[in-house]
Amino acid sequence: MTKAWATFILALAGIYIIDQNIKTIFLSGWQWESSCISLTLVFNKGVAFSMFSFLGPYLKWIQIALLAGVLGYIIHGKYLQRYSLPLGMLFGAGISNIADRFMHGGVVDYVYWHCGFYFAVFNFADVMIDLSVGWLLVENLFFKKK
């Protein structure tokens, strides 16, 4: 196994384990409220902002197909060598959210921002997806390989 694959697998596993453990805390009933943030369990049947929830049980299979397609693309295009850490983070978070759909019927979300404006409920995996996509964008926009 190359260093890139090892980094990818370790990042994937690390994000998955952290996310699932945090979700276990909320699944056990823990919650917290403040004037700006509520930490409370919500099951999201769709994707961001509950979009595509009308797809019901098909959504998880569509997401698996998309992840498999992206994995094939990054392997074929040899992107894993350069982007193993952010891609591992992205896949770990994506797999964790898809696993929720199988285990709980929806993605386990728990962070709800309601200070000044109302935002969608989200979780650690969602933050890691945003972070890894941002990382990939910055790498490609500002640090292109010559």
Cα distances (Å, whole numbers) of residue 139 to 47, 69, 124: 26, 22, 22
Strand positions, DSSP E, 28-128? 32-33, 37-44, 107-113
What pLDDT is attached to residue 61?
Answer: 92
What pLDDT is attached to residue 102?
Answer: 95
Catalytic one among 19, 100, 126, 130? 126
Is residue 109 annotated as part of the catalytic site, yes or no? yes
Question: Do 15 and 94 touch, CB atoms closer than 8 A?
Answer: no
pTM score, two decimals? 0.90
What pLDDT is attached to residue 136?
Answer: 95
What pLDDT is attached to residue 17?
Answer: 98
Question: Do 40 and 31 touch, CB atoms closer than 8 A?
Answer: yes
Catalytic one among 19, 100, 109, 130? 109
Nearest to 91 by CA among 111, 76, 75, 109: 75
What pLDDT is attached to residue 56?
Answer: 76
Helices (H) and strands (E) in the chain, counts: 4, 3
Q: How many CA atoms does the CB half-sphere of 107 hold within 13 Å?
A: 30
The pLDDT tens digits along the chain (146 residues) read 699 999 999 999 999 999 999 999 999 999 999 999 999 999 988 776 666 777 878 888 999 999 999 999 999 988 999 999 999 999 999 999 999 999 999 999 999 988 887 778 899 999 999 999 999 999 989 887 66
Is residue 130 annotated as part of the catalytic site, yes or no? no
From CA 41, how far away is CA 25, in angstroms rounded? 10
What pLDDT is attached to residue 145?
Answer: 67
What pLDDT is attached to residue 119?
Answer: 77
Question: Do 39 and 32 touch, CB atoms closer than 8 A?
Answer: yes
Nearest to 109 by CA among 20, 27, 41: 41
